[in-house]
Amino acid sequence: MRVLPIFVFGAVIAAGAYGAQQMGLLDSIAPTEPSTPVVEQASAPPIPVVHQPAATPANGIRRPEAQGTVRSNSDEKVAQNNAASSSPPPPGKPAVDETALRYFASKGDTKRLQAEIARLKALYPQWTPPADPLAVQPIGDTELDRMWTLYSEGKLGELRKAIADRQQKEAGWTVPSDLLERLAVAESRDQLINASNLKQYQTVVRLASATPSLLTCAEIDVLWRVADAFVQTERQQRAIEAYDYVLANCADPAERLATMQKASSALPREELEKLLTREKTGPDGIGEFASVRDDLARRGVSAGGADPKLVVDPADVAAVERLARDGGLETDQLLLGWYYLRRDNAKAAEEWFRKARDTKNTAESSQGLALSLVALKRFSEAEDVLYQWRDGSDEILAVYLAATAGLLGMETQTPIASEILQRIVPVIYEARDVVNAQQLGWYALALNQFQTAAQWFSTALSWKPDDEPSAYGLVLTRARLGDRVGVRDIQAAWQGRSERIAQLGMTSTNPPGTPAAIPNVTLPPRATVPAGSDTNLPPSSLVTPYSATPVSPLSPVPAMPAQTGEAIFPNGAGATLPVTPQAAPAPVSPTEVRPARQARSGTAPARGCRSTIPPGSLSPQAALDRGWCLMNMNRPLEAAPAFEVALRSGSAKIRTDAAYGQSLAYLRAGLAREAAVAATKAPQDRQRTTELRTAILANQATEAFDGGRYVESLLALDERARIAPEQIDLMVLRGYAYLNLGRLGDAERVFEAVAATGSREGAKGLSAISDIRNPQGGG
């Protein structure tokens, strides 16, 4: 049995009907509108059809001319002029069923009228169309007219019923085969479209096979659905045939383009070549599928941007470059940027990303540009480009941090502008980025900011205890600080894990010119951070909030660094230093709110205050919430203004909480004076008052000690001891204050008490006293 593929139109299986070769003639007429709109065909060729309103039911089937007369089909106008008034055909000759013709004429449906005329002429080459299809003899078949009306309105069930009713009532009546055929086709079309909408693809193919007359250019929607059904059921070759049929036979430009677009989204590119050869060229020399070719080129470049190993046709790249230059579309520019970046052509990538960013500053273009700049080692530009977008995604943040790390780690170090540093540091801190923390350590070290360097190295280690470079940096820094014990601690911790740490020799850390008699006194334990300890205090930023204070001349301990007040720049912008997000470590405070470590896995519990919002725009309650959120994220200097806004609340409860919060914030930032002021801004209950007061006093004691004002420090400690018990670390502070004031007896008493608790600091302090009393000679 000969198997005909579904799309053979030269010889349709159905009994002898359509033999014409030209596709236009086989355009079946679809009086029922397809469910998806199909672009209207071009206007009908000019045939003078007189349209009269259907006043009287002028029905009738006009019998054609005598079949014997041969008419020239090409000369329609002549034929029409020659068409005389109707005369009945000779008996025995088949009558051409012109019902539909008359019907469409009466509806004024020129398009379908033409199609019907063409169809009938294909069927009956000897037939000539009537000059005026309306002017036919009515034979009073209102019922048939009603049937055609039902058909045209898509009331197919009713039409079935009407036909069946009439067949029962009128024994001699035969259904016009044309009507029946059309009805079956319309039902099949409805069913096919319904099945297609429900993705029942086998049904679609089955119906299409059974109803080949549906597969013509007038039913482009059906053709598309059938092609799609083939695609979805993995019959790619059939789909290609379907699309190819359309492009080979159908004329409407919009439909052709849509067909090519559908094919290009459904089929792999290799299969499209055949279809693209069907492209027609317009009078302007531009192919009708130019936009599809452009999109294919874009797709090629885009795939190349995703996979560096992919071989991309240079013609595609050239095409997209041309499109990008001519059209200036940001998307095209981005495509090229990613393409070049993936192929390590950072220069070209930078050019295209910059163009894209100039077109529209977006996260993506900024990210791409930053990546290119990082590859080109232009870190400062990269940081600048990406700063505003850093919160866009984890990926972008990673790029930003790469830029900052590069910036900090640059060999030829011009000082980084303070406002840049100020914005970088909080990001690094919040991201817990080890590499950047380490780089900050080196940066500080290079500028002799030893305390700060130590704090950053320690922080890096707290985030990643096995980070050897940070440990190395820390041991170096401690060496510079003369912190022997600290050095030994690290060497012990890293024994066997790091050659260079092990080999670090402890040279004398006495600054030149100091009396050698007094040996080094270890720093108060507060400033010593053994490797690996978890401190939840932020290290100093590289710019500190309060101005430098001179070392008290009373200090016998030359090694005591007085660097916490130092400005970072040699020219010292100390007095007018701006408030920074991270300040000196706060003293140990019992009320300290433990900053919640934000997991950087995308679960952002403090999502609400990640971004910058001016607190003045918030309601007092919202400002209060934001303040606590910021405290949780360890941004006390941003929290303070938020709490200030909350202090404006009419609610006493909110004001109390806000004052409390602000005081804590200033304590955290090491601003004891401000903390004390804040505490008074609203009444607190006794518990909080005590809490704040003890913290403020502890803070003042520490601050004074750091500034070498040991008497002041002791006064603060004394006052504090009156309202709260003195913990070990403050006792140790007291001990060293006495020591530095030469009050060895008092110091000894304190250190003995400390030693009695089992703390090693007691022994250390006693040892220090003993050293002073019994100097061992130069050291």
658 touching another protein, by CB under 8 A: no
Helix ranges, 250-289 (H): 253-266, 269-276
Under 8 Å between Cβ of 431 and 402: no
Q: Residues 279-298 vs another protein: string with x where CB under 8 A? A: --------------------
C-beta of 32 vs 449, nearer to another protein: 32
198 touching another protein, by CB under 8 A: yes
C-beta of 191 vs 361, nearer to another protein: 191
Strand locations in 337-442 (E): none
Q: Which residue from 105, 117, 118, 163 is in contact with another protein, where contact means CB under 8 A?
A: 163
174 touching another protein, by CB under 8 A: no
232 touching another protein, by CB under 8 A: no
Report the nearest approach of another protein to the CB of residue 292 (Å). 30
155 touching another protein, by CB under 8 A: yes
165 touching another protein, by CB under 8 A: yes
C-beta of 176 vs 539, nearer to another protein: 176
Q: Which residues pair with 281 in a beta bridge?
A: 287
| 3-state SS record for 70-125 | CCCCCCHHHHHHHCCCCCCCCCCCCCCCCHHHHHHHHCCCHHHHHHHHHHHHHHCC
C-beta of 233 vs 393, nearer to another protein: 233
At 545, list the tokens.
């909030």
C-beta of 146 vs 681, nearer to another protein: 146
Report the nearest approach of another protein to the CB of residue 428 (Å). 52
Helix axes 450-463, 468-481, angle to 10 degrees: 150
**Half-sphere exposure in the Cβ direction for 704 (13 Å, CA):** 22
Distances (CA, A) of 760 to 8, 424, 669: 98, 38, 29
210 touching another protein, by CB under 8 A: no
Q: Which residue from 97, 132, 141, 158 is in contact with another protein, where contact means CB under 8 A?
A: 158
Report the nearest approach of another protein to the CB of residue 636 (Å). 56
Report the nearest approach of another protein to the CB of residue 1 (Å). 19
751 touching another protein, by CB under 8 A: no
Contacts 24+ apart (CB under 8 A), 147-152: 147/179, 148/99, 148/100, 148/103, 148/179, 151/31, 151/32, 151/179, 151/182, 151/183, 151/186, 152/31, 152/32, 152/103, 152/107
Under 8 Å between Cβ of 454 and 478: yes
C-beta of 150 vs 319, nearer to another protein: 150
669 touching another protein, by CB under 8 A: no
- Is the backbone of residue 377 left (phi > 0), alpha (psi -120 to 50) or beta? left
C-beta of 180 vs 363, nearer to another protein: 180
Q: Which residue from 45, 90, 108, 157 is in contact with another protein, where contact means CB under 8 A?
A: 157
36 touching another protein, by CB under 8 A: no
Residue 92, SS3 per DSSP: coil
Distances (CA, A) of 453 to 163, 168, 449, 587: 96, 103, 6, 19
423 touching another protein, by CB under 8 A: no
Nearest by Cα to 182 from 156, 208, 209: 156
Under 8 Å between Cβ of 651 and 620: yes
Report the nearest approach of another protein to the CB of residue 158 (Å). 6
Report the nearest approach of another protein to the CB of residue 168 (Å). 6
Report the nearest approach of another protein to the CB of residue 155 (Å). 7
- Within 10 angstroms of residue 603's Cβ, the number of other Cβ atoms is 8
Report how far Cα 21 is from the mean position of its chain's Cα atoms. Answer: 54
C-beta of 161 vs 280, nearer to another protein: 161
C-beta of 162 vs 402, nearer to another protein: 162
Phi, psi of 534 (to 5 degrees): -95, 100
- C-alpha span between 226 and 215 (Å, rounded): 9
At 596, list the tokens.
């919640």
Which of these ranges, 185-193, 280-288, 455-463, 729-737, lies near another protein under the rule CB under 8 A? 185-193
- Polymer length in residues for the chain: 779
- C-alpha span between 45 and 30 (Å, rounded): 18
Residue with tokens 């119906």: 207
Which of these ranges, 36-44, 75-83, 157-165, 252-260, lies near another protein under the rule CB under 8 A? 157-165
Q: Indicate the DSSP class of residue 281.
A: B
Residue with tokens 């709109």: 37
C-beta of 165 vs 685, nearer to another protein: 165
Helix ranges, 576-685 (H): 620-632, 636-646, 652-668, 672-679
Report the nearest approach of another protein to the CB of residue 211 (Å). 12
C-beta of 195 vs 640, nearer to another protein: 195
Report the nearest approach of another protein to the CB of residue 317 (Å). 43
- Within 10 angstroms of residue 571's Cβ, the number of other Cβ atoms is 7
Report the nearest approach of another protein to the CB of residue 196 (Å). 9
C-beta of 202 vs 281, nearer to another protein: 202
584 touching another protein, by CB under 8 A: no
Which of these ranges, 201-209, 484-492, 526-534, 551-559, lies near another protein under the rule CB under 8 A? 201-209
At 617, list the tokens.
């725009």
At 661, list the tokens.
């919060």
C-beta of 195 vs 647, nearer to another protein: 195
Which of these ranges, 158-166, 423-431, 551-559, 706-714, lies near another protein under the rule CB under 8 A? 158-166
Distances (CA, A) of 701 to 51, 557, 566: 105, 18, 19
Q: Is 505 exposed, middle or buried (0-12, 13-18, 19+ CB in 10 A)?
A: exposed
C-beta of 156 vs 557, nearer to another protein: 156
Report the nearest approach of another protein to the CB of residue 203 (Å). 5
Which of these ranges, 132-140, 160-168, 353-361, 665-673, lies near another protein under the rule CB under 8 A? 160-168
Q: Which residue from 13, 50, 164, 306 is in contact with another protein, where contact means CB under 8 A?
A: 164
Q: Which residues pair with 287 in a beta bridge?
A: 281
Report the nearest approach of another protein to the CB of residue 615 (Å). 49
156 touching another protein, by CB under 8 A: yes
187 touching another protein, by CB under 8 A: yes
Which of these ranges, 43-51, 184-192, 696-704, 729-737, lies near another protein under the rule CB under 8 A? 184-192
- C-alpha span between 316 and 307 (Å, rounded): 15
C-beta of 202 vs 388, nearer to another protein: 202
At 547, list the tokens.
């101005």
Which of these ranges, 199-207, 299-307, 309-317, 481-489, lies near another protein under the rule CB under 8 A? 199-207
162 touching another protein, by CB under 8 A: yes
203 touching another protein, by CB under 8 A: yes
Report the nearest approach of another protein to the CB of residue 186 (Å). 9
197 touching another protein, by CB under 8 A: yes
C-beta of 92 vs 172, nearer to another protein: 172
C-beta of 203 vs 236, nearer to another protein: 203
Which of these ranges, 41-49, 192-200, 513-521, 593-601, lies near another protein under the rule CB under 8 A? 192-200
Report how far Cα 591 is from the mean position of its chain's Cα atoms. Answer: 40
Nearest by Cα to 597 from 653, 520, 532, 537: 537
143 touching another protein, by CB under 8 A: no
Is the C-alpha dihedral spanning 97, 101, 106, 112 positive or negative? Answer: positive
Under 8 Å between Cβ of 540 and 582: yes
168 touching another protein, by CB under 8 A: yes
Which residues form the interface with another protein (CB under 8 A)?
155-158, 160-165, 168, 187, 190-191, 194-195, 197-203
